[in-house]
Amino acid sequence: MIGHWLGADTAGRVPFYLIGFLSSVLAAREWGWLRFRLPERTLQTEKFWVHEFGFVLASAMWGMHIGLGFATRVTYGGFWALVAVALAIGDPVYGALLMLVYWLGRALPVWVAPRLLESTSDSIGAIFDPHSVYHRMAGFGLVWSGGVAVLFALSPQVR
């Protein structure tokens, strides 16, 4: 809704070219070619929730809190590229679906990695290590996303 309110859905091709540029810069960051901090809030979820609401409800609350991305540590630049896409499209339903798919893409490796790696601590280290395979793959995903944004901007359907 913020994208619609800002008029991004009537801005034509420019937002998608900017997303292509942003994605390239974020990919360079993921590959270690550029160094800068991502905007983030380094908050922890509320520990008392488990005592107040029980484990199941607290787990859901923690998932929602962390899953939003705006209220926790952001380790990959792809989150901000998707936020830019959601803003540029200006459609709340599309934005919500886009962020849901992003969340699923972030959650699946966390669920699967412990089964593939020797220990859970290896998977957590891989997520936070800036030279890990996760970051390199995120960089390729950003290049792909940037290319799609530029192709979308070149589409005759975009005015």
User: pLDDT digit string (tens) for 79-108?
Assistant: 888 889 888 888 888 888 888 877 777 666
Secondary structure of residue 149 in the 3-state scheme: helix
CA-wise closest residue to 113 among 105, 124, 102: 124
pLDDT of the residue at 90: 83
Q: What is this structure's pTM? A: 0.67
Residues in the chain with pLDDT values less than 50: none
Which long-range contacts does 107-112 make (Cβ < 8 Å, 24+ apart)?
Answer: 107/67, 109/134
Q: Are 145 and 78 in contact (CB under 8 A)?
A: yes
CA distance 110 to 106: 7
Q: Where are the domains of the chain?
A: 2-37+76-154, 40-73
CA distance 87 to 12: 13
pLDDT of the residue at 113: 60
